[in-house]
Amino acid sequence: MLTRRSVLLGSAAIATAYGALRIGGARARTAFATKLPIPTLVDARAQGHAIDLVARASAHEFRPGSPVQAYGFSASYLGPTLRLRRGEETRFSIRNGLQELTTVHWHGAILPGAVDGGPHNSIRPGEAWSLSFKLDQPPATIWYHAHPHGATALQVYRGLAGLILLTDDGDADRGLPHEYGVDDLPLVLQDRAFHRDGSLAYDLGPMAAMMGMFGDTVIVNGAVAPFARIPKGLVRLRLLNGSNARTLRLGFDDGRAFHAIASDAGYLAAPVNLKDIVLAPGERYEILVDFSDGDSVALQSLLHSVGARSGMPMMRMMQAGPDRAEPVMRFEPDATLPVAEQKIPTKLDGPSAPDASKSARRREAVLEPMLGGMGMMGMMRGGARMGINGRSFDMNRVDFDAKLGTTEIWTVRSQMMAHPFHIHGTSFRILSIDGGSPPAHLAGLKDVVLVEDTVELLVPFSAPADKNHPFMTHCHILEHEDAGMMAQFTVT
Ligand code: C2O
Ligand code: CU
Ligand code: CU
């Protein structure tokens, strides 16, 4: 068990490694010299509803002029942005051009387990996965990423991720900017570490196994410290925290406010005025930023103190943000670019308050390290296992069954650390966070929630999953997921 002595020893060891987790590699550079790369837009309709992707290794320039090994989907890093329309069927062919097994999971999509792309949908090297699906859920910024059993963290770290814009062509009517790459920008934010020669560094040590992999530089769409020219008006930013483990708190260096318009799986009921926003790994927000004053402004990674409320101070410190604001990228308004929208809409078509009265049953999930007999030091020496409700992930064990067409209330608790909790095959609502009602920007459709202590979720099941292709529910700290903080369930 976790003894006081092992806790103290563990804390000391953590303290020495602690410096390595802070952002700060970026500090020396505040020259925003690279133009923000915009992932190619692949519009399903324009492609005759057939999309081909190849997972492959190639050379990518995180900094201009120094290509290094990375992975991408039909790209040197990350993958194209896929624009799908609600209700339209698209065929996909995904070829594995890597030397290792992979899968492609549609994170945030409500799809049958058979095409969900979790660990049971593995694609062997040289083979292709053919599938087709249509999405019938509200417009949202969802994403896709590799999800192979036990190797998700490293493959995503190397670049196997991309965005999906699910649309109903209604954004003009909503008064929202929607010109991709002009006033509607995708921003995939990820922290990465680099070796001296510029290549991607990934720490496989016990520290990363326990805390997750933390890099010292926050990159955007695969570029270090980029800048973007944007119109002198309202601009929509689609933010994804694609980091393996780092929770980000984002804001602007001049303190300007912005409006959140959508969370993970759809629009909010109305825009929410904020000065900063927290994104745990896997979370998305769409925000509107007003650049009509014409000033250049930097997006920053800000101080925060996210961590388990019950956790040790040292663990809290390790999950916290940078010790001072770190610039991530710069926006440069350009008066020659067309301004489509000037006004923040007053209302959006997000969901009204959740109704928990018809829920079929309650479930509990406790996210915890599996200390067993080894204590903290044992964990740090390696072999760290993570679990949910005292069990580590087993691909051959279905943990529970939910009834198709029902809604459940889940109580999720974190132990030792804050964990971003994700459920496949559904969009859920947050009923409460640590006993209180969620703030407005967390009150919409979600598929990841940062659990610092206890959250209550209302989870509907509208997509089926059988025991051959069950859904996953897991911590979105990818090293925790790979270490077993994942369960699987059927919906029948
Ligand atoms: Cu984004 Cu199971 O993951
Ligand atoms: Cu998912
Ligand atoms: Cu976790």
Q: How far apart are CA 247 and CA 478, in angstroms?
A: 12
Residue whose pair of structure tokens reads 């095409």 in the numeric block = 115
Parallel/antiparallel/unpaired status of strands 297-301 and 326-334: antiparallel
The answer on pLDDT for 86 being more than 50 is: yes
Q: Could you tell me if the CB of 105 is within 6 A of ligand 1? A: yes
Q: How far apart are CA 192 and CA 183, in angstroms?
A: 27
Report pLDDT digits (tens) over 95-133.
999 999 999 999 999 999 999 999 999 999 999 999 999
Give the pLDDT confidence score for residue 217 in this predicted structure.
95
Report the nearest atom of ligand 1 relative to the CA of 107.
1
57, β-bridge pairs? 71
Closest ligand relative to 307 C-alpha:
3
The answer to whether the beta carbons of residues 112 and 464 sit under 8 Å apart is yes
Give the pLDDT confidence score for residue 420 in this predicted structure.
98
Closest ligand relative to 421 C-alpha:
3
Q: How confident is the model at residue 7 (pLDDT cuts 50, 70, 90)?
A: very low
Distance 373 CA to ligand 1 centre (A): 30
Least confident of 141-145, 237-241, 369-373, 386-390: 369-373
Distance 27 CA to ligand 3 centre (A): 28
Q: Could you tell me if the CB of 107 is within 6 A of ligand 1? A: yes
Closest ligand relative to 481 C-alpha:
3
Distance 105 CA to ligand 2 centre (A): 6
Report pLDDT digits (tens) over 132-163.
999 999 999 999 999 999 999 999 999 999 99
Q: Could you tell me if the CB of 236 is within 6 A of ligand 1? A: no
CA angle 301, 260, 445 (to 5 degrees): 110
Q: What is the DSSP string of 35-57?
A: EPP-PPEEETTTTTTEEEEEEEE
Report pLDDT digits (tens) over 375-393.
566 655 556 789 999 999 9
Structural domains present in the chain: 34-169 (2.60.40.420), 184-333 (2.60.40.420), 361-491 (2.60.40.420)
Distance 106 CA to ligand 3 centre (A): 20
Q: Could you tell me if the CB of 120 is within 6 A of ligand 1? A: no
E runs forming strands in 253-391: 258-263, 266-274, 276-279, 284-290, 297-301, 326-334, 361-369, 386-388
Q: Could you tell me if the CB of 422 is within 6 A of ligand 1? A: yes
The answer to whether the beta carbons of residues 233 and 292 sit under 8 Å apart is yes
For atom 3 of ligand 1, which residue has the closest CA? 107
Distance 4 CA to ligand 2 centre (A): 37
- Residue type at position 292: S
Q: How far apart are CA 10 and CA 452, in angstroms?
A: 21
Q: Could you tell me if the CB of 472 is within 6 A of ligand 1? A: yes
Distance 474 CA to ligand 2 centre (A): 9
Report the nearest atom of ligand 1 relative to the CA of 145.
1
Q: How far apart are CA 185 and CA 239, in angstroms?
A: 9
Span between the terminal Cα atoms of the chain, in Å: 38
Report pLDDT digits (tens) over 247-288.
999 999 999 999 999 999 999 999 999 999 999 999 999 999
Distance 31 CA to ligand 2 centre (A): 36
Q: How confident is the model at residue 5 (pLDDT cuts 50, 70, 90)?
A: very low
- Residue type at position 204: L
Give the pLDDT confidence score for residue 318 in this predicted structure.
86
The answer to whether the beta carbons of residues 399 and 226 sit under 8 Å apart is no
Tokens of 94: 């995904």
Closest ligand relative to 424 C-alpha:
2
For atom 1 of ligand 1, which residue has the closest CA? 107
Q: What is the DSSP string of 198-245?
A: S-EE---SHHHHHH----SEEEETTEESEEEEEESSEEEEEEEE--SS
Distance 267 CA to ligand 3 centre (A): 27
Report the nearest atom of ligand 1 relative to the CA of 147.
2
Q: Could you tell me if the CB of 161 is within 6 A of ligand 1? A: no
Give the pLDDT confidence score for residue 6 in this predicted structure.
47
